């Protein structure tokens, strides 16, 4: 592709996918958090028109089925696979990753799922719910699928000539972040991990849900940059602003 088309905030998902259809074709894409009406669902809906396979995930089987049905109603030939995945549970993540390891390649991983912003809550793994669902869980999933992503990069292009090397596909890991990350003066790890806040009533009283959300979204951006750095040219991490 010689040059990328230009898009703006008014560009729709359908317009973007249509413009990049040739780039999407033949790709396997995994998207977390795909309930109808959200960014993840819309992403899956438009990519399913061109991708080889779109894997949609969620912790609710009924909602997953509704999303699959809606996508196939619009695109009957779409290849959709559903995988139960609760990013607030480390055990669920490991189980889903084991299932996904059987995929014939994974080109793109899009982290869209997010926990509701609300009262202080711990997961069954004793982690703050926003941090677990929005960052720690996606980090674990990325780690478990990293070799699948990197091996897909190698298998996509087998030729050794220079033209092939320049067109070699680089797998991508995308975090849907938010402009909220810019509302904090500096990243505070203790907010993400809820360190030094105390437990029980004391911890709940000191809990600032929006501040935790902003720090978690900052962590997403930092993680995306680090994944790209560690990929050493074999993989890219991208942190996207909310609504992009």
pLDDT in tens, 29-62: 999 999 999 999 999 999 999 999 999 999 999 9
Instruction: Name the one residue in this structure whose structure tokens are 């969620």.
Output: 58
The CB density around residue 10, as the number of other CB atoms within 10 Å, is 6
What per-residue confidence (pLDDT) applies to 153?
66
Please give the tally of structural domains in the chain: 1
Looking at residue 196, what is its pLDDT? Answer: 44
Q: Is residue 2 part of a domain?
A: no
The catalytic site residues sit at 207
4 lies in some domain: no
Domain that holds residue 106: 13-240
* pLDDT tens per residue across span 163-205: 444 467 788 999 987 766 666 666 666 666 655 444 445 455 6
With a pLDDT cut of 70, the percent of the chain lying above it is: 76
| Residue 230 pLDDT | 78
Q: Mind listing the pLDDT tens digit for each residue in 94-106? A: 999 999 999 999 9
Report yes or no on 43 lying in a domain.
yes
Please indicate, yes or no, if residue 96 is contained in any of the structural domains: yes
Residue 152 maps to a domain: yes
CATH classification at residue 61:
3.40.50.720
Phi-psi region of 37 (alpha: psi -120 to 50; beta: other; left: phi over 0): left
Q: Are 64 and 41 in contact (CB under 8 A)?
A: no
pLDDT tops 90 at residue 86: yes
The pLDDT of residue 121: 86
């Amino acid at each position: 592709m010689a040059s990328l088309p230009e898009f703006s905030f008014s560009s729709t998902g359908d317009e973007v996918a249509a413009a990049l259809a040739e780039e999407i074709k033949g790709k396997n894409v995994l998207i977390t958090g795909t309930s109808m009406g959200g960014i993840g669902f819309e992403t899956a809906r438009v990519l399913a028109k061109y991708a080889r396979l779109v894997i949609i995930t969620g912790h609710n089987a009924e909602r997953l089925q509704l999303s699959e049905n809606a996508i196939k109603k619009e695109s009957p030939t779409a290849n959709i696979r559903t995988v139960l995945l609760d990013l607030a549970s480390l055990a669920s993540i490991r189980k889903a990753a084991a299932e996904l390891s059987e995929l014939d390649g994974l080109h793109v991983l899009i982290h869209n799922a997010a926990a509701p912003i609300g009262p202080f809550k711990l997961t069954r793994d004793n982690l703050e719910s926003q941090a677990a669902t929005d960052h720690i869980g996606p980090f674990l999933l990325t780690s478990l699928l990293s070799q699948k992503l990197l091996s897909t990069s190698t298998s996509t292009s087998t030729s050794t000539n220079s033209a092939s090397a320049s067109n070699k596909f680089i797998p991508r890991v995308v975090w849907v972040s938010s402009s909220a990350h810019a509302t904090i003066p500096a990243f505070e790890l203790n907010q993400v991990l809820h360190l030094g806040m105390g437990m029980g009533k004391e911890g709940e009283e000191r809990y600032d849900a929006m501040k935790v959300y902003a720090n978690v979204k900052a962590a997403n951006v930092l993680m995306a940059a680090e994944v790209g750095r560690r990929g050493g040219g074999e993989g890219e991490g991208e942190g996207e602003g909310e609504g992009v």
